[in-house]
Structure 1
Amino acid sequence: MFRRLVKSFTTGHHNTGITKDNLFDPIPADCDLECHSCTIKYPASFKVEESADLWQTSDEWATHIIIATGQSDWVRNVDHEKGSMMEAISKAKKPTNGKLMVSASNMCPPPEYYTDTPKPTTCVILPSWTQVENVTPNDVNELIDKFISPAPTTTTPMIDPEAVDGVVKEGKEIQPPQPLPAPAPRSRKNSLSEVGHMIKRTRTRDSVVSNGDASLTAALSNLSIGSRVTQTATELAASSYLKSHECPHDYLILLCSHKHRDARCGQSAPLLLKELRRHLQPLGLYRDLDDYRPGGVGIYFINHVGGHKWSANMIIYRKKAGQGIWLARVKPNDIEAIVKWTVLEGKVQPEKIRAGFDRCKGVTSW
Structure 2
Amino acid sequence: MSTLRKLKAYIVGGVGADHGSELKAADVPVSDADCRGCANPCDEGHDEYPSRFDVDMETEMLGSMKPYATQVVISTGKSDWEREVTDASGTLAAYIDSARGEFKPPKDKGGKDANGKGGKDAAANGKGGKDAASNGAGGLPGVYKSTESSKVTILNGSHKTVCDDATRETVLVFPQYKVVTSVERSEEGAKKLLHSLKADARESDALKTYVLPYSSVIMLCSHKRRDNRCAIAAPKLEQTFTAALEHEGWEVHTQIEDPSLSGPPLEEFTGSDERLRAEVEKRLKDVAEQKRVLIIRNSHMGGHKFAGNVIINSPQGACVWYGRVTPHEVDAIVKETILGGKVLPPLLRGGLNLSRPGHASLHDW
Contact 1:78/1:104 (<8 A) preserved: yes
Report Cα offsets for 1:46-88 as digits up to 9, x if no partner: 0111011111111111101111100000010001112111000
Please state how far the C-alpha of 1:284 moved relative to its aligned partner.
3.1
Give 3-state SS (helix, strand or coil) of 2:103's partner: coil
Q: Relative to 1, partners in 2 of residues 1:145 and 1:343: Cα closer, same or farther, differing over 3 Å?
A: same
Whole-angstrom CA distance in 2 between matches of 1:306 and 1:134: 28
TM-score for both structures, normalised by structure 1: 0.64
Contact 2:192/2:204 (<8 A) preserved: no
Contact 2:36/2:329 (<8 A) preserved: no
Partner of 1:134: 182
Contact 1:124/1:132 (<8 A) preserved: yes
Give 3-state SS (helix, strand or coil) of 1:37's partner: coil
Q: Relative to 1, partners in 2 of residues 1:307 and 1:55: Cα closer, same or farther, differing over 3 Å?
A: same
User: Can you give the 5+ residue segments of structure 1 that lack an aligned partner in the other structure?
Assistant: 1-16, 151-230
**Does structure 1 residue 309 correspond to structure 2 residue 305?**
yes
Contact 2:163/2:181 (<8 A) preserved: no
**Does structure 1 residue 338 correspond to structure 2 residue 356?**
no
CA RMSD of aligned residues (A): 2.6
Give 3-state SS (helix, strand or coil) of 1:254's partner: strand
TM-score for both structures, normalised by structure 2: 0.65
Give the counterpart of 2:84 among 55, 77, 80.
77
**Does structure 1 residue 266 correspond to structure 2 residue 231?**
yes
Report Cα offsets for 1:203-258 as digits up to 9, x if no partner: xxxxxxxxxxxxxxxxxxxxxxxxxxxx5xxxx14653212211111211111000
Partner of 2:244: 279
Whole-angstrom CA distance in 2 between matches of 1:78 and 1:32: 34
Give 3-state SS (helix, strand or coil) of 2:352's partner: strand
Contact 1:288/1:298 (<8 A) preserved: yes
Q: Relative to 1, partners in 2 of residues 1:62 and 1:362: Cα closer, same or farther, differing over 3 Å?
A: farther
Partner of 1:168: none
Equivalent position amino acid for 2:198 in 1: S
**Does structure 1 residue 51 correspond to structure 2 residue 58?**
yes
Partner of 2:161: 109
Please state how far the C-alpha of 1:317 moved relative to its aligned partner.
0.9
Where do residues 1-366 of structure 1 align in structure 2 (5 Å cutoff)? 19-20=22-23, 22-23=25-26, 24-29=28-33, 33-34=37-38, 36-92=43-99, 93-94=102-103, 98-110=150-162, 112=164, 114=166, 119-136=167-184, 137=186, 138-146=188-196, 148-150=197-199, 236-237=201-202, 239-290=204-255, 292=257, 295=290, 296-320=292-316, 322-358=317-353, 361=356
Equivalent position amino acid for 1:143 in 2: L
Contact 2:216/2:293 (<8 A) preserved: yes
Equivalent position amino acid for 1:94 in 2: F
Equivalent position amino acid for 2:231 in 1: G
Please state how far the C-alpha of 1:360 moved relative to its aligned partner.
6.9
Whole-angstrom CA distance in 1 between matches of 2:61 and 2:205: 40
Identify the range of structure 1 (305-314 vs 279-288) with the bigger mean alpha-carbon deviation.
279-288
Contact 2:163/2:170 (<8 A) preserved: no
Equivalent position amino acid for 2:190 in 1: V
Whole-angstrom CA distance in 2 between matches of 1:31 and 1:240: 46
Contact 2:47/2:327 (<8 A) preserved: yes
Q: Relative to 1, partners in 2 of residues 1:103 and 1:239: Cα closer, same or farther, differing over 3 Å?
A: closer
Contact 2:55/2:307 (<8 A) preserved: yes
Contact 1:326/1:353 (<8 A) preserved: yes
Contact 1:21/1:350 (<8 A) preserved: no
Q: Relative to 1, partners in 2 of residues 1:272 and 1:22: Cα closer, same or farther, differing over 3 Å?
A: farther
Equivalent position amino acid for 1:254 in 2: M
Please state how far the C-alpha of 1:297 moved relative to its aligned partner.
1.3
User: Can you give the 5+ residue segments of structure 2 that lack an aligned partner in the other structure?
Assistant: 1-19, 106-148, 263-286, 359-365
Please state how far the C-alpha of 1:22 moved relative to its aligned partner.
4.6
Identity of aligned residues (%): 28
